[in-house]
Structure 1
Amino acid sequence: MKQLWVVVGLLALGGCQNMEGMMPWVDMGNQVAKNAGYDTDSKLAAGIKEALITGTDRASTQLSQTGAFNLKLPAAAQPVADTLRQFGFGSYVDKVETAMNRGAEQAVAEAAPVFKQAITSMSVNDALGIIRGGDTAATAYFRGETESSLRQRYQPIVEDNLKKTGFYDQYKSLLAVYDKLPLTNKPNMNLESYVIDNSMDELYTRIGEQESLIRQNPMQQGSALIGAVFGSGKGG
């Protein structure tokens, strides 16, 4: 009987291609285990959270490496970049873009605990709501529920790391040169928001990729708990 919840979990959440057809078995398996005294909900939720944390750790590690980001000035600012390069001031553009990317990489590393805390604080019901979804359901749910609040906490981290890379000094230098050019219709560039938006988008994308890998091969990509929640029975 001690292995009952594991057997039920492996049967119910076997990662089958036709998860919708398996849901009656999932629900029945959970209920059988509950009746036998095993709190499958908390164990399933713990496995889902662990998968998300694993994905977040791996995504953060990848994106914190030098060269992980390749941010260019936003589309609205490309005329600025093109004009500066045309007049021989391309180095100013390059320095701003380099500082943007280093700031994004450093911010991802520093913000990782913020994302992990949000995952840890998810309720059991919230975590269980993920099971019926597809390969990146956990990431999509996590993003939908946390992006707004996480962005507020992520913004000062990005700004602080942009300061460390000298972004603001380089940005001011770029604008100073640009302002001296005989041009009109100069765009208002909010590059802080641009860096925040793009770095968060990339982080969520990478977390989703990691979740998909875990679902495809949970025992190899995750832990014993993750394997019990998402593994076995893939041929169903």
Structure 2
Amino acid sequence: MHYHRRSVLGFGAAAGLLALPGCSSLPGLSLTEAVKRLLTLSSQNAFAELMQPNGFFDNQVARIAVPDSLGGSRATSIATALLRSKPVQDRLLMQVNRAAEKGAELAAPIVAETIRNMSIADAAAIINGGPRAATSLLQGELGNTLVERMLPGIAGGLRLFDNEIINLVLSQATNVDFSSISRDVTDKVGDAIYRSIGEQEAAIRANPRATNDPLLMAVLGAGKAF
């Protein structure tokens, strides 16, 4: 419970960075500003879901799979039969997804800062692109930054194996490399975050009026007119 409270509190600060600027009038159609607002709102919505308790675990788009070296679907001799048993796998699945929540807490302000400072060479191409074109732009802009910044937090979360049975099983398994496991989970969390942002972007594009944002409604509602 304390962990989830920290997640919510952490998101409170991140949400301030992700908040959309007020817009009571529409002084002009700025496609660059429209892309940034689209990404801001998509990110805000995605993180609001992911940073809830069990936000990754309960999300079919974002759920993180157990690494193969911990008995995942393609595990080989590394894992014992007990490690691959359903009760232990269920605990491990919950653990990696709780660690993912810590990653999202660290990622939110990084994404917000990147969106705020990014330059967009061809905003019209993004507006007229596919349903996740802006998310792809964001992913390219961040490169490996998101994963590298999330890694320490996720690694810390993965160390909190609080179940004696799992600790016992892991002590019996050979060649369990927690550094590689942490990297594997962090890579998956990064991909899950982009999938979630992309899903929110697609939803906004499909129904821009739901945002109540005059600029997004004007630009996205106009179709491919630029």
TM-score by length of 2: 0.69
Residues 4 and 115 from structure 1, CA distance in 2 versus in 1: closer, same or farther, beyond 3 angstroms? closer
Q: Root-mean-square deviation (CA), in Å?
A: 3.4
Counterpart of 2:207 in structure 1 is: 217
- Is the CA contact (8 Å cut-off) linking 2:127 and 2:220 kept in structure 1? no
List gaps (5 residues or longer) in structure 1.
10-42, 180-185
Counterpart of 2:170 in structure 1 is: 175
Counterpart of 2:101 in structure 1 is: 105
- Is the CA contact (8 Å cut-off) linking 1:53 and 1:116 kept in structure 2? yes
Residues 216 and 234 from structure 1, CA distance in 2 versus in 1: closer, same or farther, beyond 3 angstroms? farther
Q: How many residues align?
A: 190
Counterpart of 2:194 in structure 1 is: 204
Residues 110 and 153 from structure 1, CA distance in 2 versus in 1: closer, same or farther, beyond 3 angstroms? closer
List gaps (5 residues or longer) in structure 2.
1-24, 58-62
Shift in Å, 1:233: 5.2
Between the two structures, name the one with larger relative contact order (CA 8 Å, sep ≥ 6). Answer: 1
Q: What CA distance in whole angstroms lies between the structure 2 residues aligned with 1:4 and 1:84?
A: 62
* Larger gyration radius, structure 1 or structure 2: 1
- Structure whose residues are more often helix by fraction: 1
Between 1:225-234 and 1:105-114, the stretch displaced more is: 225-234
User: SS state of the match for residue 125, structure 1?
Assistant: coil
- Is the CA contact (8 Å cut-off) linking 2:146 and 2:190 kept in structure 1? no
Post-superposition CA distance 1:3-50 (Å, at most 9, x none): 9975xx5xxxxxxxxxxxxxxxxxxxxxxxxxxxxxxxxx22112111
Post-superposition CA distance 1:163-191 (Å, at most 9, x none): 4x447998754321224xxxxxx565621
2:140 to 120, 138, 144: 144
Q: Percent identity?
A: 30
- Is the CA contact (8 Å cut-off) linking 1:48 and 1:229 kept in structure 2? no
- Is the CA contact (8 Å cut-off) linking 1:213 and 1:221 kept in structure 2? no
Q: What CA distance in whole angstroms lies between the structure 1 residues aligned with 2:136 and 2:152?
A: 24
- Is the CA contact (8 Å cut-off) linking 1:49 and 1:127 kept in structure 2? no
Q: What CA distance in whole angstroms lies between the structure 2 residues aligned with 1:114 and 1:168?
A: 32
Residues 109 and 222 from structure 1, CA distance in 2 versus in 1: closer, same or farther, beyond 3 angstroms? farther
